[in-house]
Structure 1
Amino acid sequence: MKSISEADLIINADGSIYHLNILPEDVADTIITVGDPDRVEEVTKHFDSIELKKGKREFKTQTGYLGNKRITVISTGIGTDNIDIVLNELDALVNINFETRTVNENLKSLNIIRVGTSGSIREDIEVGTILASTHGLGLDALMSYYEKDISIEDKFLLQTITQHLPKLNSQPYLTSGSEMLLKQIAFDMPQGITATAPGFYAPQGRQVRAKISQPNLIEKLGSFQLKNQRITNLEMETAGIYALANALGHHALSVNAILAQRIKLQFATNPEKIVENMIVKVLERV
């Protein structure tokens, strides 16, 4: 079996993966990702015990136990460029032999659950809602660098969305979330297609000083509906997580705390409480 080069897979002197700075044994089969490094403790404070605390750059990792369940919590930072690092390095940690630099014969499938914040682009989805993503719609360019395997149903849905949207700077991509995790964790949550933008300001229709080129982006996204499928919210990581998890054979689910209402121009007065409610709900079901 062909070995992976030192330039393609960088391993630190202590045997840890390059960016995340963790070892294969540091990773649990269930992983919760958060964007903000400070939010790692907001999750692990609920654990019964913590066995590992490591960090490098924006990537902060803690692994511990909730009852008998071993869970890893890791911060990704913002954006799908960071998701590219985190998903590939997590997969390498569990599916590549670092000594031989070869892919393991028996591959492991991780359960990856994002708990993050988001903005609603539907009038009926209020601030404070905890919403699960049925699909991730990528408005960024990440997946143009990877071969994609998309179902017939998702291909048709993507074509319909693309025809509905104004011309974008990159070709949108679409990936379904894990049906297993949706049933396990999000069975009673509002659900919808989550759009993932490549930035926070103009790519999400915000204008401060620099003039934006797509002033009607929020309205176009929020007006899409195909039967019971509609685009409900906008953030910066979900589509990358779903697409790379699918490409690498992992299960992924994104759970979103709605802190902004983009149609009503509202922002949460109690964001910490909303995020805490989301974290507790996910941990009860994970």
Structure 2
Amino acid sequence: MPIKASELILNPDGSVYHLNLKPEHVAKTIILVGDQDRVPKISKHFDSIEFETQKREFKTHTGTYRGKRITVISTGIGPDNIDIVLNELDALFNIDLETRIPKKELTSLEIIRVGTSGSLQNDIPVDSFVLSTHGLDINGMLHFYQIESIRNPEMESAFIKHTNWDANKAKPLIIQNSEFLQKKIESNLTFKGLTATAGGFYGPQGRVLRLAIQDENLNHKMDNFNFNGVKVTNLEMETSAIYGLSKLLGHHAVSINAIIANRANGTFSKNPGQVVENLIIYTLNKIIE
């Protein structure tokens, strides 16, 4: 049965609603960034750019880097935007947009998030790279999907107990990355660990301005969480949503972040732009290896 027009919304030109993309515009290897201004910072390294578009915060450049076709898309901030981007990217490859019927033969994408983040561990310094072995979902978006097959119940239960998690909040989820992409992207330059994904920047990440927060010790509890050697290394707003939706949809995903702040010791990078540039070059070269 065809998917209803209200559920899969297309623009008058046949492109998917938010991303403003058609299937031919997107490569099977996709780099996701949060900031739309970071898209040209990546595509400037391409041999050539074949396609560019932007709608709202979703900017897309597709081109080739040393002969490999790559798409870069900005997602904006937060798990809600990831819900839009991952579903619409999957639709471009795995739903016939004319008949609105899912394809029998599905395409698996390779999705690499290149982001910035703050470290929660003293021993992960600013200006370093963190590769997320798992995404720790503390924002609740994934609970709207059937997620039992992708969860890690034992690790989740340990985290809930360790933090004395408030039952009024969404139950934490822990989702593993794509081991295939991790092996491709990791090196002796990358720290590895559990990346916590919050649903906001201030209260959900423990920042206090004028509003009191429910658990002022949560960041400290996360700092000290250790499950069989896996620690919470950093805190941001996209990784767990990318991992969860990618696994549910059959795609490979890995997240690597430039550490521009260390929340544990209160430091911030003196040149965050250079750290991001270093990570961009590192990731592009790993993709083509």
2:97 corresponds in structure 1 to 98
Partner Cα distance (2:194, 2:261) in 1? 16
Amino acid in structure 1 at the alignment position of 2:286: R
Name the residue aligned to 1:174. 174
Decide whether aligned partners of structure 1 residues 268 and 18 sit closer, same or farther in structure 2, where only a CA change above 3 A counts.
same
Q: Match for residue 225 of structure 2?
A: 224
The match for 1:258 is: 259
Partner of 2:109: 110
What is the total number of aligned residue pairs between the two structures? 284
What does residue 183 of structure 2 align with?
A: 183
> Could you tell me which amino acid in structure 2 is paired with residue 232 of structure 1?
T
CA contact (8 A) 1:150 1:175 kept: no
Secondary structure at the counterpart of residue 190 of structure 1: strand
Q: In structure 1, what residue type is equivalent to 2:71?
A: T
- Identity across matched positions, percent: 50
1:149 touches 1:247 (CA, 8 Å); kept in 2?
no
1:18, 1:151 → 2: CA distance?
28
Per-residue deviation at 1:150? 3.5
Q: TM-score, normalised by structure 2?
A: 0.96
Q: 1:161 maps to what in 2?
A: 159
Q: Which 5+ residue runs of structure 2 have no aligned equivalent?
A: none
1:115-264 equivalences in 2 (<5 Å): 115-150=114-149, 154-168=152-166, 169-188=169-188, 189-264=190-265
What is the CA–CA distance in structure 1 between the aligned matches of 2:219 and 2:128, rounded to whole Å? 19
CA distance in 2, matches of 1:159, 1:210: 29
Instruction: Render the CA deviation track for 1:213-263: whole Å, top value 9, x for unaligned.
Output: 211111011100022211110000000000000000000000011111101
Structure 1 distance, partners of 2:77, 2:22, is 23
RMSD: 1.0
SS, match of residue 16 in structure 2: coil
Q: Which runs of 5+ in 1 are unaligned?
A: none
TM-score, normalised to structure 1, is 0.97
Secondary structure at the residue paired with 2:133?
Answer: strand
State the distance in 1 between where 2:224 and 2:82 align: 28
* Large movers: runs of 4+ above 2 Å: 149-152
Assess if the C-alpha contact under 8 Å between 1:34 and 1:115 holds in 2.
yes
Please tell me the residue identity of whatever aligns with 1:69: K
Distance 2:218 2:161 in 1: 14
String of CA shifts for 1:86-117, please: whole Å, max 9, x gaps: 00000000000011100011000000000000
Q: Is the 8 A contact 1:142 1:240 kept in 2?
A: yes
Deviation at 1:187, TM superposition (A): 3.4
Deviations 1:105-154 (A, max 9, x none): 100000000000011001111101101000000100101100014458x2
Preserved CA contact (<8 Å) 1:30 1:71: yes
Q: Specify the code of the residue in structure 2 equivalent to 1:174.
A: I
C-alpha distance after superposition, 1:37-73 (max 9, x if no partner): 0000111011000000000000000000002200000
Q: Who is 2:76 aligned against? A: 77
Asked whether the 8 Å contact 1:17–1:89 carries over to 2, the reply is: yes
